[in-house]
Chain A
Amino acid sequence: MAKFTVDDFTRILRTGAGVDQQTNLDDERAADTSLVDLGYDSLAVLELTSRIEREYDIAIPDGDLAHTLTPREAATYVASRIAEVQV
């Protein structure tokens, strides 16, 4: 199984798009809350996508990651992309 966890996703979200007092990404419920409900817009997802692509050397087609996904769903998706590359 490829190494990409919710924690990796949250780390990249934190540096790429920032956090403020209204968002507690450490709250265990955050992983299952949609990005839009956590306060991140489509631009944040764009920034996030390009950071993940660079760091893990994978390509993520436009639209595959959307701000309607939760961090857990997004992390699962990224892990599967990494796994495809490694095959």
Chain B
Amino acid sequence: MSASGLRSGHHPPPVVTGLGVVAPTGIGVRRHWESVLAGKSGLGRITRFDPSRYPVQVAGEIPGFDAGRLVPGRLVPQTDRFTHVALIAAEAALDDARAEPRSLPEYEMAVVTASSSGGTEFGQHEMERLYQKGSSWVSAYQSIAWFYAATTGQVSIRHGMRGPCGVLCCEQAGGLEALAQSRRLLNSGSRLVLSGGTDASLCPYGLVAQMATGNLSTEDDPARAYKPFDVAASGQVPGEGGAFLVVESAASARERGVGHYGTLLGHAAGFDPPPGSGRPPVLASVIRQALANAEVGPEEVDVVFADASGVPAHDLAEARAITEVFGPGGVPVTAPKTLTGRLYAGGAALDTVTALLALTSGVVPHTAGLERQAPGCDLALVRDRPRRTDPRVAVVLARGHGGFTSALVAGRGDRTDIGQ
């Protein structure tokens, strides 16, 4: 039994048959991947509200996301933006997988998502009404829009997927944990899981809640605000959006006659010891356990998608863990999330999508915007331009505030088209 609670070898690894992206890099898998390869940043001065009175001015916003046009009319006033975003990404992932939920057994399809903030923007609006006008002005939908599982529930209802559903709240590691839970479900009777994560709390309430961590960058130049592993690293930049993935048993994908972007080979999770304990962070041991769970050696890993915090102390700890497992400069490391900012529950889901696209395309995307590596971060960072290195195995790392730590190992699939 591994740390992830899964026996390896009992089941063939699940496969990812569909992807859906709604992120600062664009709406749609193809647009996202084009932005990543072009190093086109989605960071800019916050426009969703006037940020002038706040120390944090830069964020990653989804370009051209019009809920009124994209989201089913009834769900617009009933749900938060993080659910709006998820509904679009989920539908896109199902389409991409050519999965027609109505034609599949409803109790064998599950929905597992990650959420970090819940319906923050919706909640802020209703709190303003409560304080300014009184309790009778608070929307009845506040009761279902704010909470973490709102997205899972709405996606499940919309597509008639009535198997085991749930939500993982693991801060910025949630995206990987949702995929790990999907794998558990596929090993215990489900055939198809719609998984992923979104967050969209670019509102004053969401921003000040994140500022309390002390990790957000106060640099107001979008080109300089989020530079992980760099001498100019100044903290994290928040972003909105995320990604959905259709995760399926290999047998189900075969039966439906569809190709896949890759296999989920292994996973492990851990939690850092409390500050002041003197014990090291768990990341190195989590990476080793994930590799063991995947039955993959460190020398077989072709690329690591780093968590890339942007907070210098976090970057140093991550670089040390990667170096400890893979050796100095022993594996190419990249972090395309510099283009989106940190999407919280959506971040690791999107990183996994990007990793699968890298495996499918044979191209390792670069980390845009870096200048000079910080001392102590002895990593083989992929900079300046993508590399066609034909990667076969990728590791995705995610760390969340307070100590959440996750690692996922993915292998290349057999699908050659992207998001068509």
Contact = CB atoms under 8 A, between A and B. Distances in A.
B272 to A, nearest CB: 40
B78 A17 contact: yes
Interface in A15-39: 15-21, 23, 39
B228 to A, nearest CB: 41
Given A15-B77, A18-B77, 5 more contacts: A19-B73, A20-B75, A43-B78, A44-B140, A54-B136
Contacts of A19: 73-74
Interface of B: 72-78, 136-137, 139-141, 143-144
Nearest to B144: A43
A50 B73 contact: no
A54 B77 contact: no
A26 to B, nearest CB: 14
Interface of A: 15-21, 23, 39, 43-44, 46-47, 50, 53-54
A18 B141 CA distance: 12
Closest 4 CB pairs of A and B: A47-B140, A18-B74, A20-B73, A46-B140
A17 B77 CA distance: 6
B136 A18 contact: no
A53 B136 contact: yes
Contacts of B73: 18-21
A44 B143 CA distance: 12
A18 B78 contact: yes
A17 B74 CA distance: 6
Nearest to B72: A20
B136 A47 contact: no
B74 A50 contact: no
Contact of A39 (B74, B140, B141, B144): B74
Contacts of B76: 18
Contacts of B144: 43
Contacts of A46: 140
Contacts of B143: 43
A21 B140 CA distance: 23
8 contacts: A17-B77, A17-B78, A18-B73, A19-B74, A20-B73, A39-B74, A44-B140, A47-B140
